[in-house]
Chain A
Amino acid sequence: MSENPTRSIEPSYLKYKGRYGGIFAWIFSTDHKRIGLLYLWSIMTFFIVGAILGLLMKMELISPGKNIMGPQTYNGFFTLHGIIMIFLIVIPGLPAVFGNFFLPIMIGAKDVAFPRLNLTSWWLYMFGALVVLTSQFTGGGPPDTGWTFYAPYSFQTPTNMLPAVTGAFILGFSSILTGLNFIVTIHRMRAPGMGWFKMPLFPWSLYATGWIQLIATPIVGVTLLMIIAERTLNIGFFDPSLGGDPILYQHLFWIYSHPAVYIMILPAMGAISEIIPTFARKTIFGYKAIIASTVAIAFVGYFVWGHHMFTSGMSGVALYTFSILTFLVAIPSAIKVFNWVSTMHKASINLQTPFYWAVSFIFVFMIGGFSGLVLGALATNVHLHDTHFVVAHFHFIVFGGTGFAFLGAMHYWFPKVFGRKYDAGWANIGWLTFFIGFITLYGPMFYLGIAGMPRRYYDYVEVFHGGNIISSFGSIILIAGIAIVITNLVKSAISGEKADQNPWGGITLEWKVPSPPPLENFDEIPHVTRGPYDYS
């Protein structure tokens, strides 16, 4: 890409000494790379909590009746599991960690456009997380509404629901500011010579994501203000006893929360689009088709929220429209899959751990996508809506999609971020355990949903016992996989073998700076003359 690779004598961003020392050198740093790592550590901590909650729920469901907790605890657990996993992990997820770290480097910039705003975003994120978590320890006890906070139950439950929604509101601002920052950075700070169509695909996915964050997220704020007005001024928006309409709440909730799914998945697809060409040693197939599909997903994704409400009693016209749009939004994803697979054709594949994650991403993403079509079709949706089939579907997409891509990206960029190599043997064992656990945990949930087991059920009738045993067993394997992957990465970050500047032979700009990169990435801003995946 660049003809003049930079060699830096500056100390790396990890060692750089600024105004503050110790932990303050991190939590007050405006360096995009340190902020990326702040997000990484925060997200990892929350993820471990969320995953343990998930494991405990699966242990409760291993057999009918009470096993380890009562229904109130279980309902609180699935609510907190959802809030943590959605609002604290997958929404910030790849953009906040890898976007912050790699966007400026990949487009040849020294930092994002607004470094202080970037640090503010992290502080807002932590503050929002804190507010969400206070709901667990104050007031009438942990919220038990599910992460969707559906009215009117959320208005009637004596548990502590308002802090959780307020926290989501604050987290929304963090997300908006990150999106804004990335959009401006991409518009204004690309290296000389890097036209729009010389930009790598991960920044492209962040660009589309940024617009979703900017446009869709404010709806959460509006909804929260309506909730406050309803509770304090008795204006009936959502509560039928005040003349409000619970369905209005569902619309507002999903107008944000559906596009939020694309906030999660687009950067994941972007990361996959980086990993595959690097290890295939081949230019990506259909570069412009992938960009077009990214933009198409971001656009059509705004108009499909109604598919979360097919059984809520909307008109036939609404159902017809939302169903057909839901089918059409699947097309750009299919196009991406075809292009990724075609990139492997006649390639020269260097089979490393990130590639395993990428290929298994495509596999679980296809299962998640096709099960989404089953749910997008009206006749099948009516039966499967609010069953374990839906739980399986969105775990394949949200956890399978975002999770596999995140861990793929983590291994791919690990040498760059920490300047060290991960232990490849353990990384592969961790991937395999994770993959087997994932399929064993979520696969049987498709069956359970088809058999009719509703979601958010603390207890169930005997017919559903078999599927739940396998699924609970899978959760143990998956947790073991997560433990292996995290332990290996943490250990390697501390004491792994030193990594070269470019261990995979990648040609995007991040591989032209030292590992780990110096404070301002480039001594001299590179001049870009070739396409991002031009291996010829």
Chain B
Amino acid sequence: MISETRDISNFVAGYESTFMLIFWVAVFFIVGISLTMIWFIYRYNKKRNPVATQIKGSVTLEIIWTVIPVALVLVMFNFGWTGWKPMQEPPEDAMVVKSYARMWSWMFEYENGRLTDTLFVPQNRPVRVDLIAQDVLHSLYIPAFRIKQDMVPGREGFLWFEAGQPGVYDLFCAEYCGLQHAYMTTAVVVMPEYDFEEWLADTTQVLVADAERPGAAGMQILRMNGCNACHSSDGTALVGPTFRGLYGSTVTVITDGTEREIVADDDYIRRSIYEPDADIVKGYSRGLMLSYRNLIDEQGIQDIIEYLKTIQ
């Protein structure tokens, strides 16, 4: 609604003109009709007007208040359609980012294979975001850009935009997806084109601070896959059990309905990531985690195990 934000994305103007048209028509009618009612209630109160004049209706009036609203809503419809149409027509040369949504985190993959949990985009360049839902429905929503598109498992989808002003904007999941839906949020970082190219080329940047620490690579994989949404590293029980103190400990699990004790060794960690429903830790629900077989390779598993060893 605020006009200085009009170039935050290329879709803000279409949204605003449609919104403002309907808004002012609404204000006109709601205020007009309400005041008319109040006037009638005052003027034609039985004290002032003891005998009502019986009026059965008027064909002319019925036609007027049918035709004028029809014309108005057709104009409104057309504004909405015109504002929406470009959303399904992404430019051929748009930069492509793949987005992965799963309960309850985001991952973005760039053309050079770089992975992030925050969406980084260049300013003034069309960006097409391909939408991949890995478990249930999600919806990628960037309020400042006035765009949203549902992410449907098993269906290809996309949205696109061109951001106009550098800055950091909220990115929400807008389709209810279970327990931590409200926390499935991240941000869009819009950078000047030159800075973006530099950022994209520099694949070490994210790890600089703690690259030397043992387990840093594993921690990075956990972050990229959103594991921390359900598994804490500080001992807190979330949707899933915590990572702290897990490696090498004895865990009570339920396998095929029977309870057994098992040592959390390399095999256990691998099986928990590839076949999450094989052994359910006692006290937690099955069916909440999907297999990461296609997302984390054997090297990744080893890196994760190295990280887990650091928080025993």
Task: Give me the interface of A with B, judged by CB distance under 8 Å.
Answer: 71-72, 75, 140, 144-146, 150-153, 156-158, 240-241, 245-247, 280-283, 285-289, 311-313, 316, 319-320, 323-324, 327-328, 330-331, 334-335, 337-339, 341-342, 344-351, 359, 362-363, 366-367, 370-371, 373-374, 376-383, 385-387, 450-452, 454-461, 535-536
Contacts and interface: CB of A to CB of B under 8 A. Distances in A.
A382 B155 contact: no
B37 A383 contact: no
Given A240-B154, A377-B76, A383-B147, A146 B55 contact: no
A386 B44 contact: no
Contacts of B81: 320, 323, 377-379
A471 to B, nearest CB: 16
A374 B37 contact: no
Nearest to A319: B84
B279 interface: no
B15 interface: yes
Contacts of B84: 319, 378-379, 381-382
Contacts of B173: 454
B88 interface: yes
B84 to A, nearest CB: 3
Interface string B71-92: 0011011011111110110000
B291 to A, nearest CB: 11
Given A288-B57, A370-B29, A387-B174, A327 B74 contact: yes
Contacts of B258: none
B40 interface: yes
Main secondary structure of the interface of A (DSSP, over half): helix
A156 B276 CA distance: 14
Nearest to B82: A379
10 contacts: A144-B179, A150-B175, A240-B153, A323-B81, A359-B41, A366-B34, A376-B76, A379-B11, A379-B79, A379-B80
A380 B172 CA distance: 17
A74 B154 CA distance: 29
B51 A247 contact: no
Interface residues of B, number: 85
B49 A286 contact: no
Given A382-B84, A450-B1, A451-B143, A346 B170 contact: no
A157 B135 CA distance: 11
A328 B73 contact: yes
B176 A456 contact: yes
Contacts of A459: 182-183
Interface string B192-213: 0000000000000000000000
Nearest to A72: B179
Interface in B133-158: 135-137, 139, 141, 143-144, 146-150, 152-155, 157
Given A359-B37, A366-B34, 9 more contacts: A151-B137, A156-B288, A158-B287, A311-B150, A331-B70, A345-B40, A348-B49, A349-B45, A385-B148
Chain A CB count within 10 A is highest, among B53, B155, B173, B174, for B174
B174 A341 contact: no
B55 A345 contact: yes
A377 B79 contact: yes
Contacts of A338: 61, 65
Contacts of B52: 280-282, 346-348, 535
Contacts of B50: 348
B254 interface: no
A461 B83 contact: no
